[in-house]
A = this chain, B = another copy of it.
């Protein structure tokens, strides 16, 4: 599977069950949310704007897309890490057939613009590493069927190898009525 097919398969409306694990405190978190993924044109002004911030990379984008999410229920309203709704633009800049950079207008671990490195494993798993100011996130996404994706993420401290938290989402495609 190449990146374009991966984005293609991801497009649509998803319902997500997400479990977060805080390892130090053995604390569980559960969030139900809706996710929407839509492809963007490479000429879209939002795509061009993001690329302009990394003109030094000088790589043609492939399959840029936009992600939007909103929590349906949030059982931990006081958790400062929770972002209950948001959207971001993501632009893959391939280095070769299986890896490249991924620009995102809003980060996953911290709410800042971020640049990650992705790899697409032969058997179809997408792996993304993103370095933020305070942390490093590694996300893995794989399809278990056309209508079910899994997403596992690990957050580490940027200094040293301490693992702060992990999370896992089961994403089921929503059928539009």
Task: Pick the contact of A28: B26, B30, B166 (CB < 8 A).
Answer: B30
Which A residues are within 8 Å of any B CB, using their own CB?
A: 15, 17, 19, 21, 23, 26, 28, 30, 32, 119, 121-123, 125, 127, 138, 144-145, 148, 150, 152, 154, 156, 161, 163, 166, 168, 170, 172
The reply to whether A166 and B161 form a contact with Cβ atoms under 8 Å apart is: no
A interface secondary structure, majority:
strand
Task: Pick the contact of A21: B17, B123, B125, B152 (CB < 8 A).
Answer: B17
Task: Pick the contact of A148: B123, B127, B163 (CB < 8 A).
Answer: B163
Q: How far is the CB of A164 from chain B (nearest CB, A)?
A: 10
Rounded to whole angstroms, the CA-CA distance of A136 and B21 in the bound complex is 26
Q: How far is the CB of A94 from chain B (nearest CB, A)?
A: 18
Complex contacts, A123 vs chain B, CB 8 Å: 119, 121, 127
Task: Pick the contact of A152: B15, B26, B152, B172 (CB < 8 A).
Answer: B152
From A161, which residue of chain B is reached at the shortest CB distance? B145
From A142, which residue of chain B is reached at the shortest CB distance? B140
The reply to whether A150 and B170 form a contact with Cβ atoms under 8 Å apart is: no
Task: Pick the contact of A144: B17, B122, B138, B145 (CB < 8 A).
Answer: B138
Complex contacts, A144 vs chain B, CB 8 Å: 138, 154, 156, 163, 166
Complex contacts, A26 vs chain B, CB 8 Å: 15, 17, 32
